[in-house]
Chain A
Amino acid sequence: MRFIRRNLLGVIAILVLVYLFIPIAVVAVLSFNKPSGKFNISWTQFSTDAWTNLCGVPGVCSSFITSIQIGIISTLVATALGTMIAFALVRYRFRGRSTTNLLIFLPMATPEVVMGSSLLALFLNLRFPLGQWTVVIAHIMFIISFVVVTVKARLQGLDPKLEEAARDLYANPRATFRYVTLPLVAPGIAGAALLGFSLSFDDFIISYFNAGTLVTFPIFIWGAAQRGIPVQVNALATLVFVVALLIVLGSQLVNYRRRRKLLSA
């Protein structure tokens, strides 16, 4: 009891972290389940069927691949456009800065249902056919702002002395950018791209409004929720979670090692 009272804050913090992971544990555990009925909700029997036959249910893998394709295209375009805006915001003076800031802030403060429905209203009025491209357009639109903010933070944190040093050593602007600025900003751009991909891959609301008959992974799950989500979906989601976690932890470890090396040098 005394231990708990003395470390009350730490105990609460750990409980909150555990709470954050409970639903993920449920998803992962149920990926090894053999449900008795249509609904994979309660534990019945251990089975690795879903893991050994990931594409065993029609539609699961095709929707998964669709989501990955859309994620890659949207991320590439949004990262390029957002990085350019971030450079302009930090490095250049221009007219209309407050309008620019508002146009970047607002998509992050707009509920998805409003963005999704207004974009659908545009496509309907233009009679633009719904499908993969309307979803890609929508994803690029809502990812750009997140890229701008991430890359901007990295650019603002750069030590201007490094670029000055390059110029003092007679590097022309292009060489300074290529060999000094870009490598220093690269981790920020990579982080922005990872964030963008995860936002695109997991997006349901905006996608559903603009997908027409296209089925992305979240749209597949939404449809399946009414008639029972296949166990394979749990397995794939667990796989995505583990891979993403490993990527992030790996990059943290690299960062940590690099910093220690720099400190000891």
Chain B
Amino acid sequence: MSPILVAESAKPVVVAQRRSRTGYILLFPGLTWLAIFFAIPFVTLFMTSLQQPVPGKLGKYQAGFELSNYANAMAEYWPQFLRSFIYAGIATLLALVIAYPLAYFIAMKGGRWRPLLLVLVIAPSFASFLLRTYAWRTILADEGPITSFFNALHLLPDDRILNTGIAVVAGLTYNFLPFMILPLYAAIEKIDPRLIEASSDLYSSAATTLRKVTWPLSLPGVVAGTLLTFIPAAGDYINAELLGSTKDRMIGNVIQTNFIEFRDYPTASALSFVLMAVILVLVFTYIRRAGTEELL
């Protein structure tokens, strides 16, 4: 679900579908690619996570069934796991609060400027993700205006933002904001403005209209947006690496260093597998609770 696509609300037209061999021929190459390079790797990931070290040979592993790899990995890295979900959760909530007014404005008051405003929302993604993240080092610098402002109010526990969890959450919030704005826009744009008018005609205040009419009708966008923000944020390690200290490491950092630097493939695979499993469970329970199964 790309943010750009979610915003495009094409009305599906029912066309007579043909049943012929051509359909299978069209599907075959792409689905084969996804099967080999997306689905099967999960099997190899799982097998790797159960491997055991070859005795006497450092960094070499052989097939095994070491379920203890999971226990050991979780015992050692549960704080990073927990931290990833907390940081991603806070960033998702902040993004929702920041994105909602803009999405509402574009959908309801954008008029003929809508396409341009949507381009402005995706435009930041055209500049390098890493450099934009790195730019927050300049914005949140210790002597910079933002840090000084919060310090004047004595709001910062460490007297700084950079290299703390606050900077990591700020970076995550910023980076995945377009993924929140566009699905929200798509949902709000579908709301019939007459419903909002009717609500105010019936003497409901602006706040009540928002709470009882607009918000419930925009829920599909809220669900899509929170998922599209939360999932990449929970797995991200770029923000933690560039903006945080070693005390703010997330699970992505651990998976990356164990895989690429330590070459401890079983531990890294076990962590990766657990991350995917936890996210899938969260996604499905969340979608079911919100009653928006049709999103899938």
* A interface, CB within 8 angstroms of B: 9-10, 12-13, 16-17, 19-24, 26-27, 30, 41-42, 81-82, 84-85, 87-88, 90-94, 100-115, 117-122, 124-125, 137-138, 140-141, 144-146, 148-150, 153-154, 156-160, 191, 195, 198, 202, 204-205, 208-209, 217-218, 221-222, 225, 229, 233-234, 237-238, 240-241, 244-245, 248-249, 252, 255-256
Contacts and interface: CB of A to CB of B under 8 A. Distances in A.
Interface in B172-227: 174, 177-178, 227
Contact of B2 (A16, A93, A138, A195): A195
Interface in B119-172: 119-139, 141
12 contacts: A23-B135, A85-B27, A105-B1, A113-B252, A114-B272, A117-B268, A156-B10, A157-B12, A217-B128, A225-B134, A241-B127, A249-B119
A100 B252 CA distance: 29
B30 A16 contact: no
Contacts of A117: 45, 255, 259, 268-269, 272
A122 B41 contact: yes
A106 B280 CA distance: 10
Given A23-B174, A121-B44, A222-B130, A138 B1 contact: no
B47 A125 contact: yes
Interface stretch (B64-72, B73-81, B230-238): B230-238
List the 9 closest A-B pairs by CB distance, nearest first. Answer: A111-B235, A92-B23, A157-B10, A81-B30, A13-B105, A118-B41, A23-B135, A244-B126, A88-B26
Given A24-B132, A94-B24, 15 more contacts: A19-B98, A81-B30, A81-B33, A92-B18, A111-B235, A114-B275, A149-B1, A149-B2, A160-B13, A191-B4, A204-B130, A209-B260, A221-B128, A244-B126, A252-B119
Nearest to A85: B30
Nearest to A157: B10
B58 interface: no
A21 B124 contact: yes
B: contact size bracket: 35 or more
A149 B26 contact: no
A144 B44 contact: no
Interface of B: 1-2, 4-5, 8, 10-13, 15, 17-20, 22-24, 26-27, 29-31, 33-35, 37-42, 44-45, 47-48, 98-99, 101-102, 104-106, 109, 115-117, 119-139, 141, 174, 177-178, 227, 231-232, 234-238, 241-242, 251-252, 255-256, 259-260, 265, 268-269, 272, 275-276, 279-280, 283, 296
Contacts of B116: 252
B132 A195 contact: no
Contacts of B242: 225
A100 B28 CA distance: 11
A113 B13 contact: no
Contacts of A160: 13, 15
A121 B263 CA distance: 11
A204 B238 contact: yes
A144 B242 CA distance: 30
Contact of B27 (A20, A84, A108, A249): A84
A42 B10 contact: no
A208 B4 contact: no
A198 B3 CA distance: 13
A93 B17 contact: yes
A16 B119 CA distance: 14
Given A82-B30, A92-B26, A146 B260 contact: no
Contacts of B117: 17
B107 to A, nearest CB: 11
Contacts of B251: 113
Among B8, B18, B30, B231, which residue has the most Cβ atoms of chain A within 10 A?
Answer: B30
Given A27-B132, A122-B44, A195-B4, A202 B125 contact: yes
A202 B128 contact: yes
Nearest to B234: A111
Contact of B126 (A221, A233, A245): A245
A91 B27 CA distance: 12
A111 B124 contact: no
Contact of B30 (A93, A144, A158): A144
Given A41-B141, A113-B252, A240 B127 contact: yes
B235 A113 contact: yes
Contacts of B238: 204-205
Contacts of B283: 109
A91 to B, nearest CB: 6
A155 B17 CA distance: 13
A248 to B, nearest CB: 6
Contacts of B123: 20-21, 241, 244-245, 248
Contact of A93 (B19, B29, B40, B275): B19
B247 to A, nearest CB: 18
A130 to B, nearest CB: 11
